[in-house]
Amino acid sequence: MPDISIRKAGRTGRITLNRPKAMNALTWDMCLAIEQALDCWRDDDAVQMVLIDAMGDKAFCAGGDIAEMYATATQGDYDYGQRFWRDEYRLNAKMDAYPKPIVTFLQGFTMGGGVGVGCHASHRIVCENSQIAMPECTIGLVPDVGGSLLLAKAPGHWGEYLGLTGTRMGPADAIEAGFADSFVASSAWDALKTDLEASGDPAIINAHTTAPDQGTLSAQTALINRHFSATSLPDIARSLASDDSDFAQAAHKALTRNAPLAMATALRIIRAVRTAPSIRNALDQEFRYTYRCGAQGDFVEGIRAAIIDRDRTPKWQHASFDAVPEEEIAAMRAPLGEAALQWEDTQ
């Protein structure tokens, strides 16, 4: 059975991720197939909107399939990952700017690469078990696939908090943070998809929408803003450590698990994108880091600890929040020159 199903149904173009046993992890071939479908449907009058969903109830897409990236990077071959990210980011930009409505159904886990496919759509639907997060710093990456734009646009300093800690958002928090738009009970999804196929009109989503249970982030906003507005990663860590509240201690513990270089760079990226909030700027900022993360960052070690050996004890190249030199952060964020992302084929 193929990893992805692409077809027309009624007035819609349908894309279904079909790797439920792998949490619908996104492969390179799946990225290219989605892009090709969107290119074909862009000027197809028979397709009035695009609907993207996934098989299984555990995950819409829990991230990118990074096993091959790890395998090649451990051999000193970083070209595979660089080309994968280049193509994936081109898809993310196309989805953000797509001229027709795109509706995504985000059940279960939507993380990393899943955010790239699911959360740049024009109409993003969550349900009772939706959990959305950008946990890249736990594996030595920065929030990417355009996620830095979503984080930059989140209320207050939620973006810094969510990006540095990798905290998972339930449906209400995801909507308030700007990662989703509508809550529709999972029991109504099949009927809604049928209605969308028949009408090609995403306005009918409103008739199926209800209110989710209350989230938690709003009540924590004052604490988030107090601590995560600090100037640097060490300042944020010290601020959290000085606060004995449950929130601050949990957030500080989350930071201690993640790669210091990734977090320090992610903080700069989120704030740089906030000053110039566009998908292309976000992807450009992110690609500067991901292009280099195999050779200069903690990506290989992060994947080893989390996915390969699963010992959960990564040996980051920097031992503490204070140990990341400014010049290393600057080096990971430096322009890539001729290797930078190109946008000629995004329209």
345 — pLDDT class (breaks 50, 70, 90): low
Q: Is the residue at 347 inside a domain? A: no
Q: Is the residue at 192 inside a domain? A: yes
pLDDT at 67 over 90: no
pLDDT at 308 over 80: yes
pLDDT at 211 over 90: yes
- Average confidence (pLDDT) over 297-325: 93
Say which residue the tokens 């109504």 belong to.
188
pLDDT at 301 over 90: yes
69 — pLDDT class (breaks 50, 70, 90): confident
Q: Is the residue at 94 inside a domain? A: yes
Beta strands 12-17 and 49-54, pairing class: parallel
pLDDT at 275 over 50: yes
H/E stretch holding 291: helix 279-296
The whole-model pTM stands at 0.96
pLDDT at 121 over 80: yes
Helix pair 246-257, 158-165: axis angle to 10 deg? 50
Burial of 295 (0-12, 13-18, 19+ CB in 10 A): exposed
Per-residue pLDDT, 87? 96
Give me the chain's average pLDDT, please: 96
**pLDDT: which is higher, 6 or 320:** 6
**Which CATH number belongs to the domain containing residue 85 in this structure?**
3.90.226.10
47 — pLDDT class (breaks 50, 70, 90): very high
Domain containing 140 equals 4-339
Cα(305)–Cα(298) distance, rounded to whole angstroms? 11
Per-residue pLDDT, 343? 81
Indicate the residue type of 269.
I
**pLDDT: which is higher, 74 or 134:** 134
Cα(32)–Cα(147) distance, rounded to whole angstroms? 19
Cα(287)–Cα(276) distance, rounded to whole angstroms? 16
Other beta carbons within 10 Å of 157: 21
1 — pLDDT class (breaks 50, 70, 90): low
- What is the number of structural domains in the chain? 1
Short-list 159, 165, 243, 175, CA closest to 211: 175
Query: What is the chain's alpha carbon radius of gyration, rounded to the nearest angstrom?
Result: 19
Say which residue the tokens 């795109």 belong to.
102
Q: Which residues are known catalytic residues?
A: 64, 113, 136, 144
Per-residue pLDDT, 346? 44
- Percentage, residues of the chain above pLDDT 70: 99
Q: Is the residue at 344 inside a domain? A: no
Other beta carbons within 10 Å of 21: 9
Per-residue pLDDT, 164? 98
Question: Whats the size of the chain, residue-wise?
Answer: 347
Distance (Å) of CA 260 to CA 127, 141, 165, 308: 34, 10, 11, 21
- Average confidence (pLDDT) over 30-42: 97
Per-residue pLDDT, 347? 41
Beta strands 4-9 and 12-17, pairing class: antiparallel
